[in-house]
Amino acid sequence: MQKIGLIGGMSWESSALYYRLLNEQVRDRLGGLHSAACIMTSVDFAEIERMQSSGQWDAAGDLLAREARALQSAGADIVVLCTNTMHKVARYIEDALDVPFLHLVDTTADAIRSAGVSKVLLLGTRFTMEEPFYRERMEARGVSVIVPSDPDRAVINRVIYDELVLGDVNDASRRAFRRVIAAGVRDGAEGVILGCTEIELLISQGDAEVPVFASTSLHATAAVDAAFSHAR
């Protein structure tokens, strides 16, 4: 298989999930003692969050582009960005690379379309839910996106930044997310995107009556597929 390059650290909790998923899938495909051929660079999330909060997206894009080039120089054949929100600056990474960049929104949209779903509820950070970069790329691939109400967006964002990125997973927050998902279904959502990598630590298919599209798991699967399909 080809070597997968991971831009991680946003947060390290979700990066650990990526690493586990990649290795589990390679083990399941090849058996025995096999594990994924991968290399990870991990940034300081406090620095990234400061850039997010202050609107320094160009600086964040430049930083992640440097990390992507470092992965390529270290032998990565495919690069993935282990975060939903920072796909806002994915073009910086794509422009910096000569190897393929596997875009998380594309892999998630493809899975949604394959499931026959056309309208989804998007859960993620405020940046992901409120800014157009995620929704527009989804809609370009034929998927209609709705987001929770403003108070519910505030709850979701708080749980992500104050709990999940710190590894704090609790039942009260799970109940809050279930309520938000149920409201989205009443508003016509046929599925729900877990559009923040850490949400998969809290929510699974059993928490919704509609299909759940876990972006991290889908992205990891697509990375392994690509690594095997382009193997030398």
Catalytic positions: 83, 196
Q: What is the DSSP letter of 101?
A: B
Separation between Cα atoms, residue 36 and residue 194, nearest integer Å: 24
Q: CB neighbours of 193 closer than 8 A, spacing ≥ 6?
A: 108, 112, 120, 121, 122, 123, 124, 145, 213, 215
Inter-CA distances, 207 with 7, 42, 72, 175, 181, Å: 29, 31, 39, 9, 8
Report residue 188: phi and psi, to 5°: 110, 5
